[in-house]
Structure 1
Amino acid sequence: MKSKVLYKLGWLFIIISCLCWLLIAIIPFLPFSTGVKAVSVTASIVLAEVFFWIGALLVGKEVVTKYKSYMNPKNWRMKKEDQ
């Protein structure tokens, strides 16, 4: 069984990944040059993916599968007993 510290750290990395994706929507409105914005968006995308997959490794396959199923828009209208 994985330790609780690694499990919580994995979820922290997944949350940081989501924040990096949200940052992409904010960057265009910041008072920086276009070049800096382009580098910032690219870096945010890369960091978001890295943090997500490291977090996924730490929390485990079952949790990630359930998370991905939950985040799929097709499943949002399904009732609990249909899943």
Structure 2
Amino acid sequence: MKKKNKAVRWGIFLMIFSGVFFALTLLIPFLELETKQKVVWSSASFIAMEVVFWLGGLLVGKELFTKYKARLNPGNWFRKKSAEEE
């Protein structure tokens, strides 16, 4: 049971940590680099973000992953919750 709990914690951490790569993707165009380097680093950061996020999703499991994915969707942030979701 402890191993599963640890895997879930690591999965949640990885899903949240993927935001760091997302922030890097947004910041790289403002750095003083050549255009080719900006494209390469932005692409690499975006791919790393996706890989880390989905790796975290694999660790937390399907139910918890869909729950956190729905919470991370900005379209759901201000939506009223129905009685089923509470």
The total of aligned residue pairs comes to: 83
CA–CA distance in 2 between the matches of 1:36 and 1:75?
Answer: 35
User: Where does structure 2 lack aligned partners over 5 or more consecutive residues?
Assistant: none
- Give the 5 Å matches for 1:35-50: 35-50=36-51
Partner of 1:30: 31
With normalisation by structure 2, the TM-score equals 0.80
Partner of 1:13: 14
CA–CA distance in 1 between the matches of 2:48 and 2:75?
Answer: 27
Q: C-alpha root-mean-square deviation of aligned residues, in Å?
A: 1.8
With normalisation by structure 1, the TM-score equals 0.83
Q: Percent identity?
A: 43
CA–CA distance in 2 between the matches of 1:25 and 1:54?
Answer: 22
CA–CA distance in 2 between the matches of 1:74 and 1:52?
Answer: 19
Partner SS for 1:80: coil
Letter in 2 for 1:28: P
CA–CA distance in 1 between the matches of 2:16 and 2:44?
Answer: 17
Which shows bigger deviation, 2-11 or 32-41? 2-11
Letter in 1 for 2:70: S
